[in-house]
């Protein structure tokens, strides 16, 4: 399948320190892709660049076959991208319903109550995100994705600070989105959860990315096992 | 540039123009929410500026054109700081609201408010 989003040969430095030298990111419709990598290795930077949130020093970004020489999130969002950052998406200044309504009206999206019910946050629609738990906030953000129904979702560490039960619900929601034909890319460290849900694994290390393929193949990659999975792969004997 | 390349370039430019014109317009709910915030923060900014002007012994409603421009710019800056404080950059980006468009939403109430105040100031002069 043709990738809807292609970030190629991405390079980025911060204060003279090279974070990414030649990294690549692909988002493919109907596929859940997971980008693994140690903390501070550049996963979030790569996702931010692919979302038009950060400008790369080098490399190109294509969305739906169109080159975006100086992409901005607002521009890519209009074209069908949704970016979940590694901090809260929804504003504390408005209620959850108000923000979901903004998405619905802006993009002729899906019914707010239906999507909130699907994510189990229907009772929290009149609350502000600051009144919700971490898991409820993540589900509210995913409700915004369901309402918006973009073509491509980039989610940076969506499992941060949530209970295992919420993580299960979140994973189910991601797979539902993929079943709807959406291209989804997630970063995270929740190895068992993400390996069980992913269609494709990418590994970010030493400023570049490696396309490791499906989880069954990726977990046989020696360097990935040694340098990232570590004792976990030995403990589970994958 | 060959005819095919020109057509490709033209199509790309047209596609992008169409995206901007068809999709980048914020819906009334977004306009209302952020214009209301612009109004609220302009009122606060203007009240503070008026207080300082009054303390300096001048008429708080009769500012020079340059001072009015400064007040509008200051109020837009305060609105952007508030947006940054609320960490709404990602929300606005995902809503396809670009920073220039947002600046326009914040500027509109400040400009209208300053025009009204100038008229009121002139009426009482």
- ipTM for the predicted complex comes to 0.92
Q: Which backbone phi and psi does B53 adopt, to 5 degrees?
A: -65, -40
For residue B94, the model assigns a pLDDT of: 96
Question: How many Å apart are CA A16 and CA A21, to the nearest integer?
Answer: 12
pLDDT of residue B21: 45
Determine the residue among B94, B98, B106 to mutate to test chain A binding: the one whose Cβ has the most chain A Cβ atoms within 10 Å: B94
A58-63 and A66-67 strand pairing: antiparallel
Contact assessment for residue A129 and residue A96, using Cβ atoms and an 8 Å cutoff:
yes
Most confident of A150-154, A157-161, B49-53: A150-154
In chain B, domain spans:
27-124
Helix B28-55 to helix A96-107 angle (10° resolution) is 120
Contact A94 B33 (CB under 8 A): yes
Residue A230 or residue A46, greater confidence: A46
Does residue A143 carry a pLDDT above 50?
yes
Judged by CB atoms closer than 8 Å, whether chains meet at B23 and A144 is answered as no
For an interface test with B, which of A81, A94, A106, A137 has the most B Cβ atoms less than 10 Å from its Cβ?
A106
Contact present, A45 and A19 (Cβ < 8 Å):
yes
- What's the mean pLDDT in A115-136? 93
Q: Is residue B124 over pLDDT 80? A: no
Q: Note the pLDDT of residue B2.
A: 61
A88 Rama sector, left if φ>0, alpha if ψ -120 to 50, beta otherwise: beta
- Torsions phi, psi of A2, nearest 5? -80, 130
**Predicted confidence (pLDDT) at residue B3 exceeds the cutoff of 90:** no
Q: Which CATH architecture has domain A5-80+151-235?
A: 3-Layer(aba) Sandwich (3.40)
Domain with CATH 3.40.50.300 in chain A: 5-80+151-235
Is A86 in CB contact (< 8 Å) with chain B? no
Residue A97 pLDDT class (50, 70, 90 cuts): very high
- Predicted local confidence at residue B121, as pLDDT: 80
The predicted model scores a pTM of 0.88
Residue B98 has pLDDT above 70, yes or no: yes
């Amino acid at each position: 399948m043709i990738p809807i989003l292609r970030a190629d040969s991405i390079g980025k430095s911060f204060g003279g320190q090279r974070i990414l030298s030649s990294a690549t990111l692909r988002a493919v419709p109907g596929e859940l892709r997971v980008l693994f990598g140690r903390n501070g290795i550049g996963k979030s930077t790569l996702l931010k660049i692919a979302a038009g949130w950060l400008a790369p020093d080098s490399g190109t970004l294509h969305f739906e076959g169109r080159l975006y020489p100086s992409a901005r999130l607002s521009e890519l969002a209009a074209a069908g991208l949704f970016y979940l950052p590694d901090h809260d998406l929804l504003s504390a200044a408005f209620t959850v319903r108000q923000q979901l309504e903004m998405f619905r009206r802006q993009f002729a999206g899906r019914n707010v109550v239906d999507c909130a019910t699907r994510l189990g946050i229907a009772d929290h629609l009149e609350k502000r995100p600051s009144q919700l738990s971490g898991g409820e906030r993540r589900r509210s953000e995913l409700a915004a994705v369901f309402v918006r129904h973009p073509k491509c979702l980039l989610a940076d560490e969506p499992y941060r600070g949530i209970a295992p039960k919420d993580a299960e619900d979140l994973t189910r929601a991601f797979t539902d989105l993929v079943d709807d034909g959406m291209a989804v890319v997630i970063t995270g460290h929740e190895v068992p959860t993400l390996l069980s849900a992913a269609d494709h694994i990418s590994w970010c290390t030493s400023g570049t990315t490696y396309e490791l393929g499906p989880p069954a193949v990726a977990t046989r990659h020696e360097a990935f096992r040694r340098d990232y999975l570590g004792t976990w792969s030995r403990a589970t004997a994958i | 540039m060959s005819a095919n390349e020109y057509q490709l370039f033209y199509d790309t430019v047209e596609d992008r123009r169409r995206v901007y014109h068809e999709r980048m317009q914020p819906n009334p709910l977004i306009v209302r929410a952020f214009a209301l915030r612009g109004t609220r923060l302009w009122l606060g900014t203007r009240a503070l500026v008026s207080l300082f002007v009054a303390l300096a012994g001048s008429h708080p409603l009769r500012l020079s054109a340059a001072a009015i421009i400064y007040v509008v710019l200051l109020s837009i800056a305060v609105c952007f700081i508030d947006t940054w404080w609320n960490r709404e950059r990602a929300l606005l980006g995902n809503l396809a609201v670009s920073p220039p468009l947002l600046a326009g939403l914040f500027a509109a109430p400040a400009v209208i408010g300053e025009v009204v105040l100038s008229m009121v100031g002139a009426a009482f002069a």
